[in-house]
């Protein structure tokens, strides 16, 4: 009987202990959930905020995580605010004494003082023996190429979340969800291999930087595209920004002019007009278009910049960049077919790419014969330089347009490709591009031995709703080698300083020689031999 009572007492004791343990756990959970500040609990945990490395096509690092430390304080544990403020200010002078005093006087249990400090600064603070402060280890994004790749890679915010460029795109591919679930550690991701060749990118960025100053331009930009694979080898836009200083990226002139800005592209659009005439109207190099007289459109006249005032062959229309001849080419095809072809080549549709900063093309609500006439020589609709380069690549690549990408393609066997013109039309345009680089406005981009082809485009900018006679948007597209083009270079010079009060700089004088210099310094990296 006594043994049985002792057994029951032990069972009761065990039950009581279990109840006490679970009651303690429950009370602590309630305390953490309702009393202790969430920031303080966050500091006590090791929260993974890793991101994958971003590499160029040859394995060079373009973005990576590095260790950093954030400084916090617990004001209620600080007895001498002045002492703490003075010691922190001596080590981090960017934090003023007033700012520190105001923050340390807070009634809160927890406050941030500084984010993303270097290990060296953290060590100095620790050696100073300052009471009431602590550190939270975290990760900071580092960009070895800095400004050179800023419009491609983008940047992250102070919490290591992507806010622009590939960094923002990556978060949209599921990285943000893994981070929020606490699963984004260093082993979670394989490196992201881009299509960019950092050697070519450095040359492009350097030459654009020089041209920005030399031409006194509002902006410059360029893209180098492998038209066989659709891979973007280099892309830059200036003015740019330092991704380590995020406030720079928000300045209004720092937009990516290659992808995030739609503009009238001028005579470079004659590439598509000519291809369309060959494809749909049965034209060839000897087809005649009467460019004797201007064409009346409403109250305006379509004229040639250097008019020959005579009938021109299709070859001459392209070589002399005749607006009148191009208008006749478009009229021979018809309005519906014209717009349909521009849709097919991607000029009127928003481009799909691994960048959030993609502008939507602009076009008239209703297409009419006057719309088609002006669109024939690159006026009346706006598109981005990148999709112009992609479309030109499709025309010259035996008529096959390959969708562009900023990621290195693992295989070239099954590419996202579309035929936009026949091989015959492509062959004619390759001939015309080479002719323009030898005898036409693209002569300043011709490099001996490389069989460069090219087409200029000079569009008057719209200022206050009207075309400004001496304010130009200059474009030059080059391709090489023209017997079987592999690469397209497209260069823009936005609003170069005018040569006089009435005459602006043209693409043949700015974008073409700039493209030639970039080609001369990059062709060897692309495995091209003169």
Read off the pLDDT band of 72 (50, 70, 90).
Answer: very high
The secondary structure element, H or E, covering residue 121 is helix 119-127
pLDDT of residue 410: 87
Is residue 243 within 8 A of residue 257, CB to CB? The reply is no
Q: What is the pLDDT of residue 192?
A: 95
pLDDT category at 14 given cuts 50, 70, 90 is: very low
Q: Is the dihedral of CA 108, 113, 119, 123 positive or negative?
A: negative
Separation CA 45–CA 290 (nearest Å): 77
Average pLDDT over residues 486-512: 90
**What are 453-496's pLDDT values in tens digits?**
999 999 988 887 788 888 899 999 999 999 999 999 999 999 99
Give yes or no for residue 255 having a pLDDT over 90: yes
Residue 44 burial (CB < 10 Å; 0-12/13-18/19+)? exposed
pLDDT of res. 47? 42
Q: Is the pLDDT of residue 378 over 90?
A: yes
Q: How far apart are CA 13 and CA 7, in angstroms?
A: 10
Q: What is the mean pLDDT of residues 192-221?
A: 97
Q: Residue 117: beta bridge partners?
A: 69
> Is 49 a residue whose pLDDT tops 80?
no
Determine the average pLDDT of the residues in 16-36: 48
Residue with more model confidence, 197 or 10: 197
Considering 130-139, 207-216, 246-255, 302-311, the range whose residues carry the highest mean pLDDT is 207-216
- What's the confidence (pLDDT) of residue 185? 65
Model confidence band, residue 393 (pLDDT cutoffs 50, 70, 90): very high
> What is the per-residue pLDDT across 270-321, written as a single tens digit (0 to 9) for each?
999 999 999 999 999 999 999 999 999 888 899 998 889 999 999 999 999 9
Q: How confident is residue 413, by pLDDT bands cut at 50, 70 and 90?
A: confident
Average pLDDT of span 27-50? 48
Q: Label residue 46 by pLDDT band (50, 70, 90).
A: very low
Q: Is 301 helix (H, G, I), strand (E, B) or coil?
A: strand
Q: What domains are defined for the chain?
A: 54-193 (3.90.1310.10), 199-526 (3.40.710.10)
What pLDDT sits at residue 500?
Answer: 73
Confidence band, pLDDT 50/70/90 cuts, at residue 19 = low
pLDDT of residue 173: 87
| pLDDT tens digits for range 225-237 | 999 999 999 999 9
List the structure tokens of 37.
């500040």
Burial class (CB in 10 A: 0-12, 13-18, 19+), 389: buried
What pLDDT shows up at residue 36?
Answer: 44
Q: Count the Cβ atoms, other than its own, within 10 Å of residue 166.
A: 24
pLDDT of residue 11: 53
Which active-site residues does the annotation give? 267
């Amino acid at each position: 009987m006594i043994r049985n009572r002792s057994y029951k007492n032990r069972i009761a004791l065990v039950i009581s202990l279990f109840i006490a343990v679970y009651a303690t756990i429950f009370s602590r959970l309630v305390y953490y959930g309702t009393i202790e500040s969430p920031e303080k609990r966050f500091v006590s945990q090791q929260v993974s905020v890793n991101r994958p490395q971003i590499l160029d096509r040859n394995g060079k690092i373009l973005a990576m995580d590095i260790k950093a430390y954030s400084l916090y304080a617990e004001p209620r544990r600080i007895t001498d605010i002045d002492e703490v403020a003075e010691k922190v200010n001596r080590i981090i002078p960017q934090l003023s004494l007033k700012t520190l005093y105001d923050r340390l006087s807070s009634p809160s249990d927890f406050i941030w003082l500084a984010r993303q400090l270097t290990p060296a600064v953290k060590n100095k603070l620790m050696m100073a023996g300052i009471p009431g402060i602590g550190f939270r280890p975290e990760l900071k994004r580092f960009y070895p190429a800095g400004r050179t790749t800023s419009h491609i890679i983008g940047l992250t915010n102070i919490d290591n979340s992507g806010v622009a460029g590939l960094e923002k795109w990556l978060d949209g591919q599921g990285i943000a969800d893994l981070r929020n679930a606490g699963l984004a550690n260093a082993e979670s991701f394989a490196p992201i291999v881009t299509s960019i060749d950092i050697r070519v990118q450095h040359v492009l960025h350097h030459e654009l930087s020089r041209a920005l100053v030399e031409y006194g331009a509002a902006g410059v930009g360029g893209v180098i595209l492998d038209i066989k694979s659709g891979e973007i080898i280099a892309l830059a836009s200036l003015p740019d920004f330092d991704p380590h200083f995020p406030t720079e990226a928000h300045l209004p002139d720092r937009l990516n002019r290659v992808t995030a800005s739609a503009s009238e592209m001028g005579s470079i659009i004659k590439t598509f007009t000519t291809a369309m005439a060959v494809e749909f109207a049965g034209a060839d190099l000897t087809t005649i278009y009467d460019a004797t007289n201007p064409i009346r459109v409403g109250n305006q006249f379509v004229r040639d910049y250097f008019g020959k005032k005579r009938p021109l062959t299709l070859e001459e229309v392209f070589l002399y960049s005749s607006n009148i001849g191009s208008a006749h080419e478009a009229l021979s095809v018809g309005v519906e077919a014209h717009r349909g072809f521009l849709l097919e080549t991607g000029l009127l549709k928003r481009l799909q790419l691994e960048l959030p900063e993609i502008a939507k093309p602009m076009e008239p609500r209703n297409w009419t014969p006057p719309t088609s006439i002006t669109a024939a020589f690159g006026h009346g609709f706006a598109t981005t330089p990148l999709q112009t380069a992609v479309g030109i690549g499709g025309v010259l690549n035996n008529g096959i347009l390959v969708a562009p990408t900023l990621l290195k393609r693992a295989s070239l066997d099954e590419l996202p490709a579309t035929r936009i013109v026949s091989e015959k039309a492509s062959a004619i345009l390759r001939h015309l591009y080479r002719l323009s680089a030898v005898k036409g406005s693209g002569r300043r981009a011709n490099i001996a031995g490389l069989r460069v082809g090219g087409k200029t485009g000079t569009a008057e900018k719209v200022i206050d709703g009207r075309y400004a006679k001496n304010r130009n948007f200059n474009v030059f597209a080059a391709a090489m080698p023209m017997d079987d083009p592999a690469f397209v270079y497209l260069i823009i010079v936005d609003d170069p300083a005018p040569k006089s009060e009435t005459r602006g700089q043209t693409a043949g004088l700015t974008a073409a020689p700039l493209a030639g210099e970039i080609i001369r310094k990059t062709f060897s990296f692309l495995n091209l031999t003169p």
